[in-house]
Structure 1
Amino acid sequence: MTSDAQPTLPFETRLSVVLSLLQAQMGAKVSTNASVCEAHSHGEAYQIAHMPAAVVFAQSTADVAAVLKVCHANHVPVVAFGAGTSVEGHVTPLEGGISLDLSRMTDVLAVNAADLDCRVQAGITRQSLNALLRDTGLFFPVDPGGEATIGGMCATRASGTAAVHYGTMKENVLGLTAVMANGEVIQTGGRVRKSSTGYDLTSLLVGSEGTLGIITEVQLRLHGLPEQISAAVCQFETLDDAVNTAVEIIQMCIPITRVELLDAVQMQACIAFSNLTEFKPLTTLFFEFSGAPEAVREQISLTQSLATENNGLAFAWAETADERNRLWKARHNAFWAIKAQNPGKQLVSTDCIVPISQLTELINGVRQDIAASGLYASILGHVGDGNFHTIIATEDTPEGYQQALALDRKIVARALSLHGSCSGEHGVGVGKLEFLETEHGPEALSVMRALKATLDPRNILNPGKLLPSGPIYHG
């Protein structure tokens, strides 16, 4: 892929050519309907919406390749769209152009139960995949919440509540089919669990946020459904005691499946929103244990001992699948619980991660920052791997957003000072661009820009995301 000179035709002329060609090639898969375009102008984020000129509903890798060939030839930007659940502006078409919707690409192409893997199209959601896998005794464990698509989860290198046990998308993707900027289709990785040949293009594309290529198929690792699953809730009078319990669980190598923190502010909102009236508005840990019955009993015993040593109250048990699902649904609805407590406000979610030994210090500092800001904000997260969020509610005005952003910057600065990252799972998009140089350094950013320039010389793939690479050529 070589560099290209600036195009000679004006952008609007080139866009008109692209629309005519796509409508001729793809017919009803192309929509310029205002409502459809508006629905593809943003994700679940607080950033400003930008309208695409058209939405193309791809149904195959060939469809994606056809769109990219036309757009590449005419220097028109393309932004991939899955379920639209990203919170950092990944799917917002900053430069207009084409929104390429993969949500109709929902086929399970192969299930290799004996090898614990499967191949799927990028538009299938995690929930739909697991429903189809249920009779095999296998499941896909990465659980970010919401109806995220597998392709979107790959693009943002997502994780979730079970990452402490099963890992993130990085550990659970074996290979990919991807379409490059010029429409070339490549295969990366395979079905084996390891290979020491060539550059690791799978890892390069996982987390690239649609800026280097568009993922259309994914080879996933699967896991056996555990023999036994138990869930429990433990409440604490202080945030410190809860965080210390979570840290000690990990440091003692207890193979817990999930450990989730909700501070008193978040718990109060969840009690009201999800009708968890059996609990008090105290800092709370949600636990899940899984495995053989004897192993689960040992995990529970060790965890209870640590919680008791840290002044935890009595465990409350979720005995049935319905009770467990109720707890985890409440956890996944945490954002909407805060929204319900703050009608008319805008919400900003942060996403920092630090080494587990630094978590208590970071959360204590963040608690001080929240108090000093005067803003309503909760603390929650997948604390088993050092990842936590704050959900900040502020006035739905530019000034309110700046207040939330100022708090976010303080939180990120604390995390980076403790050898952490500005994003554990949400990705960069546009929301975290300003922190990239501080986290990675100018030399590493130069290498990233060189990769982008080589693989997407016309900068048509999700321009303005992940790297501050500047606008595309508008002529």
Structure 2
Amino acid sequence: MTADWKALQAVLGVDKVSWGESIRRSHARDESYHPEHLPDVVVFAESLADICQTVEFAKQNQVPIVPFGAGSGLEGHVIPVHGGISLDVTRMNRILEIRPNDFLVCVEPGVTRQALNDALRPYALFFPVDPGANATIGGMAATNASGTTAVRYGAMKDNVRSIEVVLADGRVIQTGSLAAKSSSGYHLTELFVGSEGTLGIFSKLWLRLYGIPERTVAAAAEFSTVQKAVQAVCTLLGAGLLLTRCELVSRQYMEVINKQLGTQYAETPTLFLELSGSEASVQADTELVKAILRDEGCAQFRAVQSEEDRRQLWTARHNAAYALMRSYPGLFHMSTDVCVPISQLPEAIAIAETWMERLQIRGGIIGHVGDGNFHVGVMVDTDDSEDLRRAEEFSHHVVEFALSVGGTCTGEHGVGLGKRAYQEAEHGPALAIMQNIKRMLDPLGIFNPGKLVD
């Protein structure tokens, strides 16, 4: 041990600090292929005071501290690569205040997305950011998560109004105001959203809410090729349609979804779509979407009318990655995501398909193509150096093209461990500014070291 953990236990309480191997191992990895690394100790924070006392202990002993939520990340953000403290915030799961007339809610970082929306339903409100996994709100903000609804509602940075943050020197600050807009000061909220626990630890978040639409319709549109499907999306967006979701699922993913979930979808490149609004607007938009897709080569269009069928469709989409993992027992999941300008999306996906075939990659393409963001799920044998090399080479080619056309190495998964190598290529001289901000706010380098710009 690098510190007197019993002293920390004496401050926080016996039930909040554990160095048992099973507890440490459960905080040693996320859902990525990156190797696990055990923390020295796990702290279960239950309040702002617990976070502040843990940060003070980490500062005095100069040990790393890594926030941990649901552990559903895909780039190794929560892996404590330098040991130290894994700060689990899942016990901080209270919804502190709902302001329906302001369309705002205040939550602790350990509240999960599904629990939040369950609590909001009686107010006819919902929080729209939907990364698929039942992640914690703190983790979603830390990685600037987005997901299937980003084409309409944006990412976390568009929906976090204000954050209470514990800094490395122990200060507690509030970023931003609760107003819908502000021209006052630097926008610190957007600095901390996406900072992956490297600049501060979230203890409270104010989120933007939306009214539940009167009518929602989902649809599945089948195409002969991925390129035709993606081009159809570009045409839909150009028509000014207000899509709520616009997801591409490749043939490979449709096959594993049917096999693992018992569904009977056509095993061909498919767009999963959703429109929402008033009864009249949704009906009109659905007919327009159908007509446009027919002109773009859609082989089959099926609108989903009932709530049960709509839920089944999105359950299939959300569980696609897990279905892929179950199809390759013993292998690990590498999910690389990039985001490009919409006009470059067809070529970006074509390049990904070419390299998948050339390098014999096991997996498939899936993504939020309505905003230019797509993922490739790759199953790798981490004990086979050649298999791992091919997977990493594939990811490199996908990222390289994205950067060459003004895109980004990660649209929503975050940098974590997997995308650090591309920070200089993407940001250039601005990377030094980011590193200076990191050193200013965390001079001892104790907040999630080895991640993001470190």
TM-score range, shorter chain: over 0.9
> What secondary structure, in the 3-state scheme, does the structure 1 residue paired with 2:131 have?
coil
Deviations 1:408-437 (A, max 9, x none): 001100111111111000000011000111
1:297 aligns with 2:283: yes
2:236 counterpart (249, 255, 260): 249
Deviations 1:261-311 (A, max 9, x none): 01111111111122221x211000001110001111222122111210111
Aligned to 1:8: none
Q: Is the 8 A contact 1:60 1:105 kept in 2?
A: yes
Separation in structure 2 between the aligned mates of residue 338 and residue 164 of structure 1, nearest angstrom: 25
Aligned to 1:323: 309
Deviations 1:302-356 (A, max 9, x none): 2111210111123223222121111111111111111222222222111011011
Separation in structure 2 between the aligned mates of residue 276 and residue 75 of structure 1, nearest angstrom: 52
Q: Is the 8 A contact 1:344 1:396 kept in 2?
A: no
Which residue identity is paired with 1:331? R
How much does 1:398 deviate? 4.1
Separation in structure 1 between the aligned mates of residue 77 and residue 332 of structure 2, nearest angstrom: 18
Q: Which moved more, 1:93-102 or 1:399-408?
A: 399-408
Separation in structure 1 between the aligned mates of residue 156 and residue 330 of structure 2, nearest angstrom: 34
Separation in structure 2 between the aligned mates of residue 425 and residue 64 of structure 1, nearest angstrom: 27
1:111 aligns with 2:98: yes
How much does 1:248 deviate? 1.2
Q: Is the 8 A contact 2:31 2:333 kept in 1?
A: no
Q: Which residues of 2 match residues 233-248 of structure 1 at below 5 A?
A: 233-248=220-235
Which residue identity is paired with 1:388? F
Separation in structure 2 between the aligned mates of residue 242 and residue 382 of structure 1, nearest angstrom: 12
Aligned to 1:60: 47
2:446 counterpart (452, 455, 460): 460
Separation in structure 2 between the aligned mates of residue 245 and residue 202 of structure 1, nearest angstrom: 36
Aligned to 1:71: 58
Q: Which residues of 2 match residues 273-292 of structure 1 at below 5 A?
A: 273-277=260-264, 279-292=265-278
Aligned to 1:9: none
Q: Is the 8 A contact 1:161 1:260 kept in 2?
A: yes
Q: Which moved more, 1:363-372 or 1:152-161?
A: 363-372
> What secondary structure, in the 3-state scheme, does the structure 1 residue paired with 2:105 have?
strand
State how many pairs are aligned.
Answer: 452
> What secondary structure, in the 3-state scheme, does the structure 1 residue paired with 2:397 have?
helix
Aligned to 2:374: 388
Aligned to 1:264: 251
1:449 counterpart (424, 429, 435): 435
Q: Which residues of 2 match residues 168-183 of structure 1 at below 5 A?
A: 168-183=155-170
1:129 counterpart (116, 140, 148): 116
Aligned to 2:351: 365
Q: Is the 8 A contact 2:260 2:326 kept in 1?
A: yes
Aligned to 2:362: 376
1:146 counterpart (124, 133, 152): 133
1:227 aligns with 2:195: no
Deviations 1:373-406 (A, max 9, x none): 1122201100000000011123342412221111
Aligned to 1:433: 420
Deviations 1:33-89 (A, max 9, x none): 110000001111111111111100001111101100111122111000000011100
Separation in structure 2 between the aligned mates of residue 418 and residue 269 of structure 1, nearest angstrom: 32
State TM-score, norm by structure 1: 0.94
Aligned to 2:408: 421
Aligned to 1:3: none
1:206 aligns with 2:193: yes
Aligned to 1:20: 6
Which residue identity is paired with 2:199? L
Which residue identity is paired with 1:286? F
State TM-score, norm by structure 2: 0.98
Distance 1:258-1:42 versus aligned 2 partners, 3 A rule? same
Q: Which moved more, 1:304-313 or 1:419-428?
A: 304-313
Separation in structure 2 between the aligned mates of residue 65 and residue 395 of structure 1, nearest angstrom: 41
1:353 aligns with 2:339: yes
> What secondary structure, in the 3-state scheme, does the structure 2 residue paired with 1:439 have?
helix
Q: Is the 8 A contact 2:3 2:61 kept in 1?
A: no
> What secondary structure, in the 3-state scheme, does the structure 2 residue paired with 1:41 have?
coil
2:82 counterpart (91, 95, 104): 95
RMSD: 1.0
> What secondary structure, in the 3-state scheme, does the structure 1 residue paired with 2:447 have?
coil
Name stretches of at least 5 consecutive residues in structure 1 with no aligned partner.
Answer: 1-11, 470-475
Which residue identity is paired with 1:347? H
Separation in structure 1 between the aligned mates of residue 325 and residue 89 of structure 2, nearest angstrom: 29
Separation in structure 2 between the aligned mates of residue 358 and residue 325 of structure 1, nearest angstrom: 31
Which residue identity is paired with 2:177? G
Aligned to 1:313: 299
How much does 1:169 deviate? 0.3
Q: Is the 8 A contact 1:175 1:191 kept in 2?
A: yes
How much does 1:16 deviate? 2.4
1:412 aligns with 2:435: no
Q: Is the 8 A contact 1:190 1:219 kept in 2?
A: no
Aligned to 1:161: 148
Q: Is the 8 A contact 1:394 1:401 kept in 2?
A: yes
Separation in structure 1 between the aligned mates of residue 75 and residue 226 of structure 2, nearest angstrom: 28
Separation in structure 1 between the aligned mates of residue 326 and residue 79 of structure 2, nearest angstrom: 25
Which residue identity is paired with 1:144? P
Q: Is the 8 A contact 1:264 1:284 kept in 2?
A: yes
Which residue identity is paired with 1:49? E
Which residue identity is paired with 1:273? Q
> What secondary structure, in the 3-state scheme, does the structure 1 residue paired with 2:415 have?
coil
